Amino acid sequence: MNVDRNRYFMFGIVLFLLGLQFRMIDTFVLNESSTKALHRFAQNSKIANSNPLTNSYVEMASPKKSVKPPNWLGFVFLTVGGVMSLHALALPKRQ
């Protein structure tokens, strides 16, 4: 894949908009199927807590996990997206 000016610019805009999204929200609330998949993934890890009460609660009930991204993540996406978009403007046009 040839990465040219237009792709750099589009990727920078997408990262910039993603950074705005992360700056405007506080938490993400996952649906039941995502929460169960995350629990199954964490259960297979070595640091997982094998508490039978927690396992039965996740299997029977429909819990919803909330994820709170760190504040710096939005700033990082904003910065990288802005720099990539400005860099795309400095690249030569394709002929």
- Tell me the domain boundaries of the chain: 1-25+70-95, 30-68
Q: What is the pLDDT of residues 1-42, one digit of tens each?
A: 677 888 899 999 999 999 999 999 999 888 888 877 777 777
What's the predicted TM-score (pTM) here?
0.68
**Average pLDDT score, the chain:** 81
Helix (H, G, I), strand (E, B) or coil at 4: coil
Q: What is the pLDDT of residues 47-64, one digit of tens each?
A: 445 556 555 555 555 667
Q: What is the pLDDT of residues 62-86, one digit of tens each?
A: 667 788 999 999 999 999 999 999 9
Residue 44's pLDDT is 66
